[in-house]
């Protein structure tokens, strides 16, 4: 348990004067990506994280006897919840896995009770939208908008070109890591190593409320079979959907266990809210387990799973409890952008996207 977690104060959030315009611009830039992929494929994909590598159903058990600062919101008391999980990669177009980009994990906890975030009052779910690095690749929404414009410009480019760029970026990233560094910019633009996605840990990257306190969230593999996949190389030669195939092969014969962990802020200077690019130091405040997520053997790419989650579900950090309200510029910008993406997909795919009931 970290020493002296900092209670949240509204002064920790500092919106900039042009934030409304930036949020509107980000929403339009993300919808432009969706319009491009709709034109090219006839399907309305997510604006980001379009390609899925596995959809799973599991159970989340909140741990008993949590200390007070951790026993907040969903985790205020022990409980058992259904969970939906979706592994993905970042771009808004569906690419060959040899174009190696950062990965994501979205989870939806079903059946939670409590005061809701605006716009999600009729639901009983708590979403987390996570990436496989502990901080975001840019500090704020204005810079993120610049990156989205670049990604949007590549959405209509030939995949052969993207593969070539990806190979160059991976080489540059590997050289940098040999020197003890890592570039969020390189991994964002197709420099992700070709490793097994199930060995990755996934992070909220930006801050969220945790009841009276605030922090970041992480999903980390803990069962030995998953831990063994950390940094394991994945042969994707000639396999455009090799990551998906590897996930499906794994869960065909075995399950997996992850911990849901929370890192509470203990120093607002070292652990800022508005700059999402800052990695909060774990020696000052470690990630501490508050729940355990268990998945049994199943088909991670069944026709039923694809229909219910790929087209019939949406994930947003703004879908949840007020006790876990997203914080900071990046998170605030996601509220409008994700809602617009959901509406776009409903309109053009003809699917009603609804939040699942407690029995899901």
Residue 39 maps to a domain? no
Q: What is the CATH number of the domain that holds 201?
A: 2.40.180.10
Q: What's the pLDDT at 99?
A: 87
Cβ pair 109, 80 in contact under 8 A: no
Q: How many domains does the chain have?
A: 1
Within 8 A by CB and 6+ apart from 114, the residues are 73, 74, 321, 322, 323
Is residue 250 within 8 Å of 198, Cβ to Cβ?
yes
Give the CA-trace dihedral at 236, 238, 243, 244, to 10 degrees: -160
Say which residues have a Cβ less than 8 Å from residue 260's Cβ, sequence separation at least 6.
60, 217, 218, 219, 289, 290, 291, 292, 293
Q: Is the pTM of this model over 0.95?
A: no
pLDDT tier for residue 155 given thresholds of 50, 70 and 90: low
Three-state DSSP at 22 gives: helix
d(CA 218, CA 279): 13
Give me the domain span that covers residue 295.
10-14+49-139+170-325
Give me the pLDDT at residue 192, please: 77
pLDDT tens per residue across span 216-273? 999 999 999 999 999 999 999 999 999 999 999 999 999 999 999 999 999 999 999 9
Residue 35 in any domain: the answer is: no
Residue 169 has pLDDT above 70, yes or no: no
Residue 185 lies inside a defined structural domain of this protein: yes
């Amino acid at each position: 348990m970290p020493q002296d977690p900092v209670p949240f104060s509204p002064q920790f959030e500092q919106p900039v004067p042009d934030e409304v315009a930036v949020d509107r611009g980000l929403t339009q830039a993300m919808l432009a990506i969706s319009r491009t992929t709709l034109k090219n494929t006839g399907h309305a994909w997510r604006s980001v994280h379009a390609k899925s590598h596995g959809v799973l159903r599991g159970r989340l058990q909140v741990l008993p006897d949590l200390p007070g600062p951790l026993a907040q919101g969903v985790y205020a008391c022990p409980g058992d919840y259904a969970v939906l999980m979706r592994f993905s990669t970042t771009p808004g177009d569906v690419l060959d896995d040899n174009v190696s980009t950062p990965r994501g994990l979205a989870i939806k906890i079903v059946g939670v009770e409590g005061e809701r975030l605006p716009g999600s009052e009729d639901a009983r779910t708590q979403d987390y939208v996570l990436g496989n690095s502990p901080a975001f690749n840019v500090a704020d929404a204005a810079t993120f908008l610049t990156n989205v414009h670049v990604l949007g410009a590549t959405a209509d480019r030939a995949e052969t070109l993207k593969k070539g760029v990806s190979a160059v970026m991976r080489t540059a990233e590997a050289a940098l890591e040999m020197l003890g560094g890592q570039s969020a910019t390189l991994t964002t633009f197709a420099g992700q190593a070709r490793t097994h996605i199930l060995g990755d840990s996934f992070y909220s990257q930006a801050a969220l409320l945790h009841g009276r306190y605030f922090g970041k969230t992480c999903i980390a593999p803990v069962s030995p079979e998953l831990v063994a996949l950390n940094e394991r190389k994945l042969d994707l030669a000639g396999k455009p959907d090799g990551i998906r195939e590897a996930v499906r092969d794994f869960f065909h014969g075995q399950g997996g266990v992850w911990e849901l962990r929370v890192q509470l802020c203990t120093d607002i200077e070292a652990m800022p809210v508005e700059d999402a690019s800052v990695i909060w130091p774990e020696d000052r405040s470690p990630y501490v387990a508050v729940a355990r997520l268990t998945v049994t053997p199943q088909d991670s790419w069944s026709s039923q799973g694809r229909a219910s989650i790929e087209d019939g579900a949406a994930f947003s950090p703004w879908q949840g409890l007020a006790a876990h309200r997203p914080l900071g510029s990046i998170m605030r910008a996601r509220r409008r952008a994700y809602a617009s993406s959901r509406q776009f997909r409903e309109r053009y795919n003809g699917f009603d996207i609804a939040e699942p009931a407690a029995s899901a």
